[in-house]
């Protein structure tokens, strides 16, 4: 992304994430903590450019929420940022922070990913708001993303509660025009010890639960102030919020709409009086029938998911179809069948250091539990060497369980990226050592959080702000945990990697292989001398092709009925992997001009 530098004009085109960062800065935020995750990542990457904010990457989302809560109790406005599944990790603190309340304003921005553009599930964060009894604001464009962020800090302080700010992919990654304002100066309030509020012993927590419920009552009244009503006097009223509001406006500009700014708690009485003015009430919302069910439970006659899908992302077209089924608009004319085109799945980069560990596991044969990161692409052809991928850090515990079940006829190997290992893998490795699981753990250390665009993490030795810091020493960490069979290998050395993994798998008990090689995309783009294929010598054996390197293509030339290959010199990063494999040595480095 090229547009992350801060804007100085009065009206600027900002993505939702950039607008939230701007809003937090304008609100005087002082501490911000996040773990990267699409589509939320750019928020902190934008915020770190502003003065007066200590923005930092956390090891995981729970730590991010802990840090932000601590800052808030210290009297500094604080922000925590994560993708939807991050809140699962942070849920423990989140649920009890609802009881402690805040010091200064505390906003947790959570970005949902309806349609799973880049996620493992499409859970709906609004359900967490209800579980935690924490208010949730839902912006519908970049301007509101900024405004609601600022509002979030005010609501947080006024009601003494953490506030959830729910974005979605279409808010976070949509750019729109935003009016910029100055930063409010909010001084640090200072920490005021208050054990009955901040030490959640059972006796104290019992005192806080009624406070939370009483607060909720006041929030319901407040939520009514964030409602906007618009449109002609149609017989059908539409309750909506967030980006679905924009889709409704697109399809039916004069629709009679009640737009919610806060979708938890829902100002039910306000909706009831709106309902009284129409014959039929409809809810248009993405994912779960959250608003719909709340209204129905309150005795309001309403429909929603009967017309709009519960899975995936809404679109102007799906909203159009639903409104057409309700007889509010003409059905849209569907165009001709789309022309056939080629599928284009994502791939590991040319020269990706994750290639050989998986290629080796495919050769050796193993049941491979996977994890989340670029390397999850090794589940796809041609490597196709991953049997599970569930949640960050799950690979190691699942491998332990699979081995304990006795149900795998092959050795069990867990594969996990460096950031994912630090995020959630370390406790599971301790468990594997403690319980002497007969598994091998391959830690794919590429020195970055590559999947989300190359962020720093506690193992890289650099902070979000670009400062040098201590880096976690992965081999020392493994040894301290008690790993006895430990191998560190360069995954650009094909035979050494194959051998190291084979040896580790032969060890009875927990063994670890750390493959270390920087990602070729980040922190710096690596481009070495490229290779080319001597077509005369190539026997079209396909050994190189089956590495899955995207720089290798077929040509129109054949040998014994198989296609010969060629290398795109612009894409080739010179990793040498294919050349190490090529039996007739047909893959050669491009000669550098004298």
Q: Which residues bind ligand SF4 (CB under 6 A)?
A: 348-352, 354, 374, 446, 450, 519-521, 531, 533, 538-544, 547, 549, 551-552, 565, 567, 572-579, 581-582, 584, 586-587
Least distance to ligand SF4, CB of residue 350, Å: 4
Least distance to ligand SF4, CB of residue 118, Å: 13
Closest CA to 314 of 147, 148, 36, 124: 124
Least distance to ligand SF4, CB of residue 39, Å: 18
Q: Of 130, 280, 362, 527, which one interacts with other proteins (CB under 8 A)? A: 362
3-class DSSP state of 18: helix
Q: Which does 576 bind (CB under 5 to 8 A by kind): other proteins, ligand TPP, ligand SF4, none?
A: ligand SF4
Q: Is 230 in the site for other proteins (CB under 8 A)?
A: no
Least distance to ligand SF4, CB of residue 450, Å: 4
Q: Which is nearer to other proteins, 103 or 370 (CB)?
A: 370
Least distance to ligand SF4, CB of residue 547, Å: 6
**For the CA atoms of the chain, what is the radius of gyration?**
27
Q: Is 175 in the site for other proteins (CB under 8 A)?
A: yes
Closest CA to 363 of 179, 145, 210, 581: 581
DSSP alpha helices (H): ranges in 58-123? 61-73, 86-100
Q: How many CB atoms lie within 10 A of CB 405?
A: 9
Binding site for ligand TPP (CB under 6 A): 35-37, 61, 83, 85-86, 89, 372-375, 392, 417-420, 446, 448-452
What part of residues 74-133 is at the interface with other proteins (CB under 8 A)?
117-118
| C-alpha–C-alpha distance, residues 252 and 506, integer Å | 66
Owner of token pair 């040595």: 585
Q: Is 338 in the site for other proteins (CB under 8 A)?
A: yes
Q: Which is nearer to ligand SF4, 76 or 578 (CB)?
A: 578
Contact 65, 144 (CB under 8 A): no
| C-alpha–C-alpha distance, residues 241 and 122, integer Å | 18
| C-alpha–C-alpha distance, residues 239 and 261, integer Å | 11
Q: Of 21, 30, 31, 38, which one interacts with other proteins (CB under 8 A)? A: 38
What part of residues 526-555 is at the interface with other proteins (CB under 8 A)?
539-543, 545-546, 548-555
| Burial (Cβ within 10 Å: 0-12, 13-18, ≥19) of residue 146 | buried
Q: Which does 174 bind (CB under 5 to 8 A by kind): other proteins, ligand SF4, ligand TPP, none?
A: other proteins
Binding letters toward other proteins, positions 382-411, x by CB under 8 A: x--------------------------x--
Closest CA to 32 of 75, 65, 74: 65
Least distance to ligand TPP, CB of residue 166, Å: 16
Q: Which is nearer to ligand SF4, 189 or 453 (CB)?
A: 453
Binding letters toward other proteins, positions 364-383, x by CB under 8 A: -x--------x--x--xxx-
Q: Which is nearer to other proteins, 96 or 315 (CB)?
A: 315
Closest CA to 459 of 127, 57, 125, 95: 57
Least distance to other proteins, CB of residue 357, Å: 16
| C-alpha–C-alpha distance, residues 180 and 29, integer Å | 16
Q: Which does 363 bind (CB under 5 to 8 A by kind): other proteins, ligand TPP, ligand SF4, none?
A: other proteins
For 312, phi then psi, to 5°, come to: 75, 180
| C-alpha–C-alpha distance, residues 252 and 320, integer Å | 8
The one segment of 205-213, 220-228, 315-323, 479-487 that binds other proteins by CB under 8 A: 315-323
Contacts of 162 (CB under 8 A, 6+ apart): 69, 72, 94, 97, 98, 101, 102, 106, 107, 108, 132, 134, 156
Closest CA to 381 of 566, 578, 546, 571: 546
Q: How many CB atoms lie within 10 A of CB 586?
A: 22
Q: Is 562 in the site for other proteins (CB under 8 A)?
A: yes
Q: Dihedral sign, CA of 542, 548, 552, 553?
A: positive
Least distance to other proteins, CB of residue 370, Å: 16
Q: Which is nearer to ligand TPP, 319 or 449 (CB)?
A: 449
Crossing angle between the packed helical segments 202-225 and 142-159, to the nearest 10 degrees: 130
Least distance to ligand TPP, CB of residue 47, Å: 17
Q: Residue 71 region, left (φ>0) first, then alpha (ψ -120 to 50), else beta?
A: alpha
Q: Which is nearer to ligand TPP, 161 or 376 (CB)?
A: 376
Least distance to ligand SF4, CB of residue 103, Å: 40
Crossing angle between the packed helical segments 268-275 and 202-225, to the nearest 10 degrees: 30
Q: Which is nearer to ligand TPP, 26 or 445 (CB)?
A: 445
Q: Which is nearer to other proteins, 190 or 583 (CB)?
A: 583
Least distance to other proteins, CB of residue 369, Å: 20
Q: Which does 339 bind (CB under 5 to 8 A by kind): ligand TPP, other proteins, ligand SF4, none?
A: other proteins
CA distances from residue 271 to 133, 246, 297 in whole angstroms, order as listed: 20, 19, 13
């Amino acid at each position: 992304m090229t547009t992350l530098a801060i804007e100085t004009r009065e009206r600027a085109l900002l993505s939702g994430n950039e607008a939230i960062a701007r809003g937090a800065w304008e609100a005087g935020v002082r501490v911000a903590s996040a773990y990267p995750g699409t589509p939320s990542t750019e928020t902190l990457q934008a915020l770190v450019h502003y003065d007066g904010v200590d923005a930092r990457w956390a090891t995981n989302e729970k730590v991010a929420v802990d840090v932000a809560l601590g800052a808030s109790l210290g009297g500094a406005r604080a922000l925590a940022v994560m993708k939807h599944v991050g809140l699962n990790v942070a849920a423990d603190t989140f649920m009890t922070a609802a009881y402690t309340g805040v010091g200064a304003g505390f906003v947790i921005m959570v970005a949902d990913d309806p349609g799973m553009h880049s996620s493992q599930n499409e859970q709906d964060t609004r359900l967490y708001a209800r579980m935690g009894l924490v208010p949730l604001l839902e912006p519908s464009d970049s301007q509101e993303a900024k405004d609601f962020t600022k509002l979030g800090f005010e609501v947080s302080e006024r009601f003494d509660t953490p506030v959830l700010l729910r974005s979605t992919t279409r808010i976070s990654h949509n750019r729109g025009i935003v009016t910029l304002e100055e930063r409010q100066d909010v001084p640090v309030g200072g920490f005021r010890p208050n054990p009955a509020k901040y030490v959640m012993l059972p006796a104290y927590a019992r005192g806080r639960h009624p406070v939370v419920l009483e607060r909720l009552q006041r929030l319901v009244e407040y939520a009514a102030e964030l409602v906007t009503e618009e449109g002609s006097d149609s017989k059908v009223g539409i309750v909506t919020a967030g980006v679905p509001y924009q889709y409704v406006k697109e399809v039916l500009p004069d629709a009679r709409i009640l737009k919610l700014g806060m979708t938890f708690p829902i100002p039910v009485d306000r909706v009831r009086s709106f309902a009284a003015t129409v014959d039929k009430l409809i809810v248009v919302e993405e994912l779960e029938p959250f608003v719909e069910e709340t209204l129905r439970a309150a005795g309001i006659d309403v429909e929603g998911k009967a017309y709009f899908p519960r899975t995936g992302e809404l679109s102007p077209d799906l909203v159009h179809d639903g409104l057409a089924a309700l007889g509010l608009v003409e059905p849209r004319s569907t165009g001709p069948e789309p022309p056939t085109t080629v599928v284009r799945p994502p791939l590991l980069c040319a020269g990706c250091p994750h290639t050989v560990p998986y290629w080796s596991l495919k050769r050796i044969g193993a049941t491979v539990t996977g994890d989340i990161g670029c390397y999850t692409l090794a589940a796809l052809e041609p490597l196709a060497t991953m049997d599970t991928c569930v949640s960050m850090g799950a690979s190691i515990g699942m491998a332990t369980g699979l081995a304990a079940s006795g149900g795998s006829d092959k050795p069990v190997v867990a594969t996990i990226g460096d950031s994912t290992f630090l995020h959630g893998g370390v406790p599971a490795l301790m468990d594997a050592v403690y319980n002497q699981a007969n598994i091998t753990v391959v830690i794919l250390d590429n020195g970055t959080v590559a999947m989300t665009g190359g962020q720093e993490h506690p193992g890289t030795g650099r902070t979000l702000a670009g400062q040098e810091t201590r880096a976690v020493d992965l081999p020392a960490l493994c040894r301290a945990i008690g790993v006895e069979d430990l191998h560190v290998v360069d995954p650009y050395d094909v035979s050494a990697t194959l051998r190291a993994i084979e040896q580790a798998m032969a060890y009875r008990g927990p063994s670890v292989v750390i493959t270390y090689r920087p990602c070729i995309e980040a922190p710096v783009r690596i481009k070495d001398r490229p290779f080319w294929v001597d077509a005369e010598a190539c026997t079209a054996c396909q050994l190189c092709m089956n590495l899955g390197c995207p720089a290798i293509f077929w040509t129109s030339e054949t040998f014994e009925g198989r296609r010969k290959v060629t290398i795109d010199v612009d894409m080739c990063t010179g990793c040498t992997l294919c050349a190490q494999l090529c039996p007739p040595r047909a893959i050669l480095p491009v000669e550098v001009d004298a």
